[in-house]
Amino acid sequence: MDNFSGKIAVITGGGTGMGRELARQLVAQGASVAMCDLLADNVAETKRICEADGLRPGARVTTHIADVADEQAMLRFAAEVARDHATDHIHLLFNNAGIGGGASFINAPRAEWDRVFNICWNGVYLSCRAFMPMLLKADEGAVVNTSSANGFWAALGPNIPHTAYSAAKFAVKGFTEALINDFRNNAPHLKAHIVMPGGVGTPIGLNSRRILVGDNVPLTEFEKGEMRKRFATLGIPGAMEMDEPALLEAQQEMIKRFETMAPTTAAGAATIILDGVKAGRWRILVGEDVTRLDKRVRQNPEVAYEVDFAAYAPFAEGEEPRFG
């Protein structure tokens, strides 16, 4: 699919970050977009931005509130897309929605762990189930599933567990790769693409807490303890003595810093993804950092979870690993 003009694209998690930028760039290229999110204010802002950028004649942008982990919600979303776009088909499905959390399988509250896994994995699965009938009716189509660097390397850094998110992203990667042969044999007009971003500047940290616990909810003692330990690991002075206001301030500062200092911007990531779809690449690595990390894991997988590996991953181009 080398041209998005006149195509109908569905995006989950369209409220911020890569989802918002995908919507903007698709609209700029003449596509109609239907996007869902759980946070109504975010997705409304994305629509406002897309319309301010300018729509081509005949193009539409619609917003929908849907929990990707809820099958009935996703079926309603698909029905709304058919109604609002007056269509029985779509051409592009971007399964982009995701949140962080559920870091430790041992210590994290099960409800949080399950919620993260269900959004990041079941959200992809249920979205594909809900929209597959409409994809099958298109003359050509693509399913674009967002995994992560954590879909091939299940760590966040030295001594920082990352289990729910990593498990889900591994599942997304495996599912998408399996779709390649399935589509070739049973729906040859469809293509499957797996997206693996590295560090991309998005507000996923802010959105994740809003979705997991809501707005203006005090931290639990477990959350305080985990935040203190993580900030201490990152070398923040006085981390273990921080009270709730200090913890939240430090968290906000880290999230904002990451969003502005990340190796790849959300807009840059969206461009890489769309160019990858146009080029027919089934495996789309987003960012030089994840490209180097992928190479390093493949070269020596047996040491991928050694502390020294995590401490220096991803490494600079040409740098040698600093372990045996």
Phi and psi dihedrals of 163, rounded to 5? -85, -50
End-to-end CA distance of the chain: 45
Name the token pair of 308: 């020294």
In single-letter form, the type of residue at position 41 comes to D
Instruction: Using only the alpha carbons of the chain, give its radius of gyration.
Output: 20
- Closest to 198 (Cα-Cα) out of 301, 117, 293: 293
Question: What three-state secondary structure class fits 286?
Answer: strand
DSSP assigned state of 243:
-
| Residue 12 confidence (pLDDT) | 98
Please state the pTM of the whole predicted model.
0.90
Helix 163-186 with 110-117: angle, nearest 10 deg? 30
Name the token pair of 321: 């690993």
Q: Please spell the DSSP secondary structure of 103-168, one letter per residue.
A: --TTTS-HHHHHHHHIIIIIHHHHHHHHHHHHHHTSSSEEEEEE--GGGTS--SBTTB--HHHHHH
The rounded distance, in Å, linking the Cα atoms of 225 and 247 is 10
> Would you kindly state where each structural domain of the chain is located, as residue ranges?
8-202+265-311, 206-261
What is the bridge-based pairing of β-strands 92-95 and 8-12? parallel
**Burial classification of residue 216, based on how many CB atoms lie within 10 Å of its CB (0-12 exposed, 13-18 middle, 19 or more buried):** exposed
Q: Measured between alpha carbons, how far is residue 68 from residues 128, 148, 251, 305 in Å? A: 10, 18, 26, 31
The rounded distance, in Å, linking the Cα atoms of 230 and 237 is 12
Q: Kindly give the confidence (pLDDT) of every residue in the chain, 324 residues in length, as a single tens digit, with 9 standing for 90 and above.
A: 899 999 999 999 999 999 999 999 999 999 999 999 999 999 999 999 999 999 999 999 999 999 999 999 999 999 999 999 999 999 999 999 999 888 899 988 999 999 999 999 999 999 999 999 999 999 999 999 999 999 999 988 777 788 999 999 999 999 999 999 999 999 999 999 999 999 998 877 777 877 887 777 788 888 888 889 878 877 889 999 999 899 888 887 877 777 777 889 999 999 999 999 999 999 999 999 999 999 999 999 999 998 888 765 554 444 433 332
Phi and psi dihedrals of 303, rounded to 5? -110, 10
Q: Measured between alpha carbons, how far is residue 107 from residues 90, 145, 212, 218, 251 in Å? A: 42, 29, 16, 19, 20
Q: Please spell the DSSP secondary structure of 289-301, one letter per residue.
A: HHHHHHHHHHH-G
Give all strands (DSSP E) within 174-234, no chain letters: 190-197, 200-201
Phi and psi dihedrals of 179, rounded to 5? -65, -25
CATH architecture label of 8-202+265-311? 3-Layer(aba) Sandwich (3.40)
DSSP assigned state of 239:
G
